[in-house]
Amino acid sequence: MLTFPVDSARWDYFAASTLWNIEPKGLLLPLVTATTSCRGQILARSMNYISISLYRKIIDHALAEGMTEHDFKGLPIPIDSLKNIQAVPADNFFALHELLDDTLGPGFAVRVGQEMKMDDYGVLGLSWKTCSRVGEIYERSERYFQLLSNTYVFKVEKEGDLSKVFLYRDAYRRGVSLSNEATFSASVVVLKAMTEKNHIEPQRISFKHSPPNKLDSHEAAFNCPILFDQTHDFMVYKTADLEMRTAKADVSINKFLLERVEEETKGIEVSSNKVAADVERLIKDALPSGIPSILQIGEHMGMSSRTLTRRLSDSGLTFRNLVKQTQERISIDLLKNSSTSVGEIAFQTGFSEQSAFSRAFKQWTGQSPLDYRNRR
């Protein structure tokens, strides 16, 4: 499960409306400490707080496994008060993990991870849906956390035919280790969803903590060797699986290839306005990974960068200006029509720093992002 810690001092536009909106500063992949709904995101700069939606999700799963609300009477935060708060102290969240692991048996965190969906990760989850490659999920997660947090590090290291996906997070108590298990479990589910294929499986799982006395849930979720008492927490995948195109990219690329074939066989070019609109859409999909190159977009559309430059020029556009235009449109729309935080808007528009985004936005509109939002 991806976990996103929330900053105690800054709860920018945090609105718990749907299950887990995100904007935190520390995301534990697959068991998200976030709130979802594309709105109300938490800007977490530390591991002080966890989104109430994730806390609630875990309780709901425990109830589904046979516990009753009476079993939670001793919690520092009563169940009947959850609807009135937006986040809980991180230690309460990790203590809950420990309680449920002791009560419902080893593997509870892994079982919760198996229930996660991309929509449960808010803005970050939305960005996964537009990835062109499976492994891009980790690149976008790394960008997200570098931009919004310094408490969580997610790294991929390729070693020939295999790639290691590391989760660097200080497990200062058992609940953090359990949350890490949920993160890996959810990651397995998300990768399969991105390709709509079930054959993408981890080759090996390594955890720093000691093994539980029962591994049934772990074995069912991971379906590969699981090692404990290791030096790092990481998953191993086939490099080819992480390089695989996502289901969405497959459909999109095939559509463009058919267009190119029709242009060549019929001798009629697609209108320059349609090409510009297609490029803008692809730029929007690519921005969470950073500013795309014209070569990258051209390859997706089955055109050389030279041809794409010419086709855009027919509409009086340049690729560079179209990127800026797309960034501006996205940011204005989100500031007007959502409570997405400025940090997450910077992520969605391809900036590596919030300050750089704020400067660019002021150049576009003459106002800072917050001033623009407050005056809308």
Report the 3 state secondary structure along 261-330: HHHHHHCCCCCHHHHHHHHHHHHHHHHHHCCCCHHHHHHHHCCCHHHHHHHHHCCCCCHHHHHHHHHHHH
Confidence of residue 151 (pLDDT cuts 50, 70, 90): low
Residue 129 and residue 259 share a domain: no
Q: Please name the residue that has the structure tokens 């919030």.
A: 354
Tokens of residue 192, six digits:
């399969």
Residue 238 and residue 126 share a domain: yes
pLDDT of res. 122: 75
- All residues at 6 or more sequence positions from 373 whose CB lies less than 8 Å from its CB, including other chains: 335, 336
DSSP string computed for 84-139: G-SEEEHHHHHHHHHHHHHHH-TTHHHHHHTT--GGGGHHHHHHHTT-SBTTHHHH
Residue 240 and residue 251 share a domain: no
What domain range is 325 assigned to? 321-374
pLDDT of res. 63: 95
Residue 3 and residue 90 share a domain: yes
Least confident of 224-233, 258-267, 313-322, 343-352: 258-267
Confidence of residue 126 (pLDDT cuts 50, 70, 90): confident
- All residues at 6 or more sequence positions from 162 whose CB lies less than 8 Å from its CB, including other chains: 203, 236, 237, 238, 239
pLDDT of res. 73: 86
Residue 256 and residue 236 share a domain: no
pLDDT tens digits, 160-210: 999 999 999 889 999 999 999 999 999 999 999 888 766 799 999 999 999
Residue 217 and residue 363 share a domain: no
Residue 147 and residue 41 share a domain: yes
Q: Alpha carbon of 293 to those of 170, 238, 263, 350: distances in Å?
A: 36, 27, 24, 12
Of 192, 224, 244, which closes a domain?
Answer: 244
Of 317, 334, 355, which closes a domain?
Answer: 317
Residue 120 and residue 168 share a domain: yes
Of 189, 215, 244, which closes a domain?
Answer: 244
pLDDT tens digits, 204-245: 999 999 999 999 999 999 999 999 999 999 999 999 999 998
Confidence of residue 257 (pLDDT cuts 50, 70, 90): low
How many domains does the chain divide into? 3
pLDDT of res. 28: 37
Residue 329 and residue 200 share a domain: no
Q: Alpha carbon of 40 to those of 321, 355, 362: distances in Å?
A: 30, 21, 23
Alpha-carbon torsion 191, 196, 202, 207, what sign?
positive
pLDDT of res. 149: 65
pLDDT tens digits, 335-352: 999 988 899 999 999 999
- All residues at 6 or more sequence positions from 222 whose CB lies less than 8 Å from its CB, including other chains: 110, 184, 185, 188, 201, 202, 205
- In this model, does residue 6 exceed pLDDT 80? no
- All residues at 6 or more sequence positions from 128 whose CB lies less than 8 Å from its CB, including other chains: 118, 121, 137, 140, 190, 194
Residue 101 and residue 81 share a domain: yes
- All residues at 6 or more sequence positions from 170 whose CB lies less than 8 Å from its CB, including other chains: 176
CATH number, domain of 363, equals 1.10.10.60
pLDDT tens digits, 109-120: 999 999 988 877
Contact 21, 51 (CB under 8 A): yes
Q: How far apart are CA 359 and CA 21, in angstroms?
A: 26
pLDDT of res. 134: 92
Residue 66 and residue 157 share a domain: yes
Of residues 228 and 52, more confidently modeled: 228
Q: How far apart are CA 26 and CA 5, in angstroms?
A: 5
Residue 308 and residue 194 share a domain: no
Of residues 231 and 42, more confidently modeled: 231
